[in-house]
Structure formats: structure tokens, C-alpha cells
Amino acid sequence: MKLSLDVNLSRNLRNKFNERLNFSMAKTAKFRCPDGKEIEQASFNAVCAVLDRIDSLVVHCCSLEIDSSTSGIFAFYDLLNYGQTLIDCIELIAQIYDYKSNVGTSCSHFKNSGNNNKGTDEKYFKYLRSLCTVHPVETNHHKEYQGNQPEWCPYIGPVNTVTAWALPTKDRNADFVAIIYRNDMTLQKYLPIYVDQVFSYIESRYNEINDIIKAIDNYNQDCISKLKSNSLMLPSSFPSYDTYLRYLDKEIKDKIKFVFVKNYMEIYNDIFGGDNNGRNRKNEND
């Protein structure tokens, strides 16, 4: 069993981010500092790191061969661990570009709302990841699925004649079963695991990139609209051309916030409809 993700989707995300680098470099977001404070800072470096990480994570996650062998089970551990890292990367870009996800808030993939009916796909995936690979020696942050008791998971394995008897009949076709120890149970707790559900959840979160691309495009178009609404003063308003050039330089830094001007004329054309000589195309054809 292997996860399948479209690598072109992450490439499309990178291309959209690079499409208007001047706007991408001007984007800011709140980041938590080591002292616990959140500060509004430039987000360019964060997004660049995330884009590189997404590319490598997609390749790695899709290379994992999951089966009932020892190596196949550890490949599943890898998928849970790095699948969440992939989701974290996607969520960070979504946060920066003000896209709110609803994918993880349902129970459509794992179909498990927990003991208090407050569980979600996102919460269940994190619970499963904690048990299997991140905190197997003490899972204690998932009240929806474990109540008030800590849990310990020594291993997971394929469903066989020994473990099948402990599962409901409907779950005896699961791919794996997690063995869980609890202090309030005489026998172990057995948690059925369906790999296709894990695949489905990760794929749905990865496909959110399509909506993030739209959010980036909306941000870029909003930047262009704001620039269009800001009229520039004419050279005749200044005592000298040097003064006018200094004014233009300040406008570039304050309003357009260029770090470099590689795409200056392209942006100019978008705003004013001019060609590379600064002439207005509409007027030129009148």
C-alpha cells in the first residue's frame, strides 16, 4: 500500500508564490518567538522553508511501502509522523494567507467522534500518531479518545487470529491493530487501524493547496487594487526632477515595498496598463 499525491500540486503552489515575488516578500504574519510572544514579522523566509519541505515530504511519503512486515509497519509510523509534518506545513501557509480549513473538523475520514462526540478527523489522526510513533510510552493529550487515563502502546501489528477475537466483527478486516495498555483495564485495549482512512485524510489535507493557491492569488490582486487606488503625484508638483525621483523612491519603499525591482515593469503594466516605455496603451490607440 502506498500513498499517492500529485507532485504538480506543490509545484503549482510554488509557482503561484513566485508569480508576484514583490508582494510575497512584503507579506507579514504573526509568529511565536522563543519568549512566547507573538510578533508580526515578514513571512517570506517561513514560506520558502515550507515550500522546500513540502516538496521533499511529498516524495518521501509517497515512497513508503506499507504492509504487515516489520519494515512495512515502520513505514506506516513514518507516514503518520511525516504526514502530520506535511499538514503542519500546509496549515502554516494557510494561516499566513488567511485561509481557514474545514477539512479536519469533520469525521468523514475516520468516522470516529470519540467518547464525548467532540472528536474530529484532525484530533483522531493526532491521537493515532501519538499512540503509534510520537508518544507511544505516554499518550495523554487526547481526552476525546482516551478519557482521563494515560495510555501506552507497545506495538501495532496486523489483525490475526489472536487479536481478531478482541475486535468487533466489523473491524476484523482492519489493516493493523494497536495494542494499548491502560491502568483501568484488566485486558489490553485494541484499536483497529485502516490505512486507507489515513491515506484519505492526508490526501484531503494536501488537496487544500488548491484553495491556498486561490488565497495567494486573492492577496496579490488585492495588492494590485490598493496600488491602483493610490495616485502618484506628477513631476510638475516638485521643484526639481531630483526631488521627484526621491519621492518615487520613497513611494516604492513605502507602498510597493520592493526588496528588488525585478518585476517592476510587469507590476507597472498591471496597474497602469502601460508598456515598457511607460506609455498608456489605451491612450496610444485613441
- 166 vs 15, residue with greater confidence: 15
pLDDT at 260: 45
Task: Name residue 97's amino acid.
Answer: Y
CA distance 108 to 214: 24
Query: Does the pLDDT at position 269 exceed 60?
Result: no
142-149 mean pLDDT: 88
Q: What angle do CA 257, 261, 265 make, to 5 degrees?
A: 110
What does the pLDDT look like over 41-51, one tens digit per residue? 999 999 999 99
In contact, 62 and 4? CB cutoff 8 Å: yes
Average the pLDDT over each of 82-96, 155-169, 212-226 and give the range with the smallest value.
155-169
Please give the pLDDT value at position 255: 63
Average pLDDT over residues 163-179: 83
Q: Give pLDDT, residue 267.
A: 54
Model confidence at 226, pLDDT cuts 50, 70, 90, reads confident
Following DSSP, what letter does each residue of 113-159 receive, concatenated? -TTTT---HHHHHHHHHIIIIISTT-B-S-HHHHTTS-BEEEEEEE-
Q: What's the pLDDT band for 122 if we cut at 50, 70, 90?
A: very high
User: Which three three-digit cell numbers place residue 70?
Assistant: 516489520
> What's the rounded Cα separation, in Å, for the pair 165 and 185?
17
- 257 pLDDT band (50/70/90 cuts)? low
pLDDT at 30: 92
Residue 127 near residue 139, CB atoms below 8 Å: yes
pLDDT at 276 over 80: no
Separation between Cα atoms, residue 146 and residue 148, nearest integer Å? 6
Over residues 88-112, the pLDDT tens digits come to 999 999 999 999 887 778 888 998 8
